[in-house]
Amino acid sequence: MDERRKHKRFKVHESIAEPVDIVFSPPFYQQTITGTIINISAGGVEMFINDPLPKHFIYSFYIRLHGIKPFEAKGKVTRLEKDIGQYNISIVFTEIDVKYAEMLNLAVEDNAKCIKERTGSNKDFCFNECKFSTLCINKNKSAADTARKHSEINIKNIEKQDFKV
């Protein structure tokens, strides 16, 4: 199957799925949406969330992912599907600073490097410079390495998406 995506994704392993809170800055007073990040890349993020985010809007985000430097991005919901008491949502980044896109790309590359090594003869492969270590499934990580907090996506602004006819 051809990979249609421009950016490779970092799939978060189910046993350590990254919890996320989606919060709304004033004047958008809405209850916090909770969920779990399924995968992320420089091109966007996929999550399971408890309440839907509507399509047809451009969202300005401040994204704080556990273990990755916080960054700002703009994006739009491209998929929203009801899935047994929750919603599967895909957000495509329409604007992201090049340095943060590169940071996410490096995390994806490090993840791919580890997967390749671990599927070979080195099942315990790990390296200190790893950019995704806080989301790593390597059981040799110390408790300090794996201590976690929720990630957060703060919606700073919502704009109606313009449709071209």
Amino acid at 37: I
Q: In this structure, is residue 46 part of a structural domain? A: yes
**Domain count within the chain:** 1
- Are the CB atoms for 152 and 67 separated by under 8 Å? no
Domain with 86 in it: what CATH number? 2.40.10
Amino acid at 92: V
Q: Read off the tokens for 40.
A: 């992320």
Query: Which residues span the domain enclosing 51?
Result: 10-159
Q: What is the pLDDT along the chain (165 residues), one digit of tens a residue?
A: 345 557 776 666 554 456 888 888 887 768 899 988 888 889 999 999 999 988 889 999 888 876 678 889 999 999 999 988 899 999 999 999 999 999 888 888 887 787 787 787 777 777 666 666 555 656 454 444 444 456 888 888 888 877 664
Cα–Cα distances in Å, from 107 out to 7, 87, 116, 144?
12, 26, 14, 20
Q: In this structure, is residue 3 part of a structural domain? A: no
Amino acid 129: pLDDT: 66
Q: In this structure, is residue 4 part of a structural domain? A: no
Please name the residue ranges forming H helices in the chain: 98-119, 143-146
Q: Read off the tokens for 121.
A: 């003869």
Q: In this structure, is residue 5 part of a structural domain? A: no
Amino acid 1: pLDDT: 39
Amino acid 97: pLDDT: 94
